[in-house]
């Protein structure tokens, strides 16, 4: 479906981003990975996706807090592949603290990476997409882009902002061949969440399975984690012809979290 097209996924060296990169490569797209991590592990991921799906896979170490590096990353992808057709803004970080104890430094970092980086990447990618009359922009928001939780001021604010940005870009690009949508995951069993569960189990002296259920039950009616591959599948669908008129949408994939 995406054979011959080019996709760039920010924050894609692990977790949800890596799953989306694999899914888009599986649909035939050449891929640019981005993110931090151990050099050997990133190269193994890059080479593995290229070999499995027989596509070209590049890697950019661009820092998502630096607008100049983001713009250069977009330009490099366009130069290397001749176009950038699919942009997935996935890079994100989290920090938890009561609002009166939330450090200014942490606030600025979360907003920069979770929200501002999506703006800078979109701003750089849209002109080429408009010139080619085709583009897909997918922002990875969160259930926290639709509802709030305590002690997550910056994360919730950033994800609500991502959804607002998604709507504006969708309206501006409505008749250009470009769509812009947000995916809003609930609990996803990534390595980061697994570490959180292990820490909870150690503190509570309960089993891992008990703490998994406890974590899910706090927010989701459905006691099941969303799989990263499922988010990748949804991203591929949003790139398909069947989704050509889906734009400006915020699509929960959250086990019913935001239905309550």
Q: Which residue has the tokens 């977790």?
A: 15
Please tell me the distance from the alpha carbon of residue 241 to that of residue 29, in angstroms, as a whole number.
15
What is the CATH code of the structural domain delimited by 6-186+227-251?
A: 3.40.50.720
Per-residue confidence band for 196, with pLDDT thresholds at 50, 70 and 90? confident
Taken in order 35, 37, 40, 45, is the CA torsion positive or negative? negative
Per-residue confidence band for 89, with pLDDT thresholds at 50, 70 and 90? very high
Domain ranges of the chain: 6-186+227-251, 187-225
Q: Are 259 and 192 in contact (CB under 8 A)?
A: no
155 is catalytic: yes
190: pLDDT strictly greater than 90: no
260: pLDDT strictly greater than 90: no
pLDDT at 231: 98
* DSSP 8-state class, residue 135: E
Catalytic residue among 46, 55, 118, 155: 155
pLDDT in tens, 138-166: 999 999 999 999 999 999 999 999 999 99
pLDDT in tens, 198-228: 999 999 999 999 999 999 999 999 999 999 9
Percent of the chain whose predicted confidence (pLDDT) is above 70: 100
171: pLDDT strictly greater than 90: yes
pLDDT in tens, 37-84: 999 999 999 999 999 999 999 999 999 999 999 999 999 999 999 999
Tokens of 166: 């998604």
Instruction: Pinpoint the alpha helices (H) of 91-136.
Output: 104-111, 117-132
Burial 172-209 (b: 16+ CB within 10 A, else e): ebeeeebbbbbbbbbbbbbeeeeeebeebbeeeeeeee
């Amino acid at each position: 479906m995406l054979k011959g097209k080019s996709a760039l996924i920010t924050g894609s060296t692990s977790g949800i981003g890596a799953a989306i990169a694999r899914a888009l490569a599986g649909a035939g797209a050449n891929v640019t990975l981005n993110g931090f991590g151990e050099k050997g592990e990133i190269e193994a991921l890059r080479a593995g996706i290229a070999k499995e799906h027989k596509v070209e896979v590049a890697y950019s170490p661009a820092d998502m807090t630096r607008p100049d590096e983001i713009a250069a990353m977009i330009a490099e992808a366009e130069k290397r592949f001749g176009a950038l057709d699919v942009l997935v803004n996935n890079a994100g970080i989290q920090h938890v603290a009561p609002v009166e104890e939330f450090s200014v430094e942490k606030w600025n970092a979360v907003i920069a990476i979770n929200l501002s980086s999506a703006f800078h990447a979109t701003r750089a990618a849209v002109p080429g997409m408009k010139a080619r009359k085709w583009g897909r922009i997918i922002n990875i928001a969160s259930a926290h882009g639709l509802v709030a939780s305590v002690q997550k001021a910056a994360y919730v604010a950033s994800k609500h902002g991502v959804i607002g940005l998604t709507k504006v870009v969708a309206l501006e690009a409505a008749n250009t061949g470009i769509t812009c949508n947000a995916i809003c995951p609930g609990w996803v069993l990534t390595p980061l969440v697994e570490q959180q569960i292990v820490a909870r189990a150690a503190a509570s002296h309960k089993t891992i399975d008990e703490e998994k259920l406890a974590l899910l039950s706090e927010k989701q009616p459905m006691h099941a984690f969303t799989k990263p591959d499922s988010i990748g599948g949804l991203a591929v669908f949003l790139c398909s012809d069947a989704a050509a008129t889906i734009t400006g949408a915020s699509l929960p994939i959250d086990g019913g979290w935001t239905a309550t």
